Amino acid sequence: MIGLGAHTLKNDLSERYMGIAESVTSTCHEAYDRTATKLGPEAFRFTEAIEAKALKSNEKYYILRPEVIESYFIMWRLTKQQKYRDWGWEAVQVKSTFSISFEKSVFPAFYGTIRLCTVFTRAPC
């Protein structure tokens, strides 16, 4: 949203706001990228080591929220930087790998939430 505001505002602060949008998007990507499965937690905090991590047990799950991937799409449309397309494609591949469930009696395939003990370790909970 910050990127969209920077793009439409077109004033002295636009460049600064776009820099903030790029930094926030990069931080979200890093929080996802540093897990074993490349899926991020429902919420994360910064530790003393400036590491974005889910610290509370009630935050250690992933419920298919689209905001991060939407950010990649919007930032790509605004900047045309290939990294945002690459990050979006990585996210699609990861979601297909770790959050798809096959239940042929109900649906051919559907997506569901996963707990982050699986996300962070690739091991069952």
Higher per-residue pLDDT: 69 or 111: 69
Higher per-residue pLDDT: 9 or 51: 9
- Catalytic site positions: 42
Count how many domains the chain has. 1
The domain of 85 spans 2-121
Nearest CA to 42 among 57, 11, 63, 21?
A: 63
pLDDT in tens, 70-87: 999 999 999 999 999 999
pLDDT in tens, 39-74: 777 667 666 766 666 666 666 666 667 888 899 999
pTM value > 0.85: no
Burial class (CB in 10 A: 0-12, 13-18, 19+), 32: buried
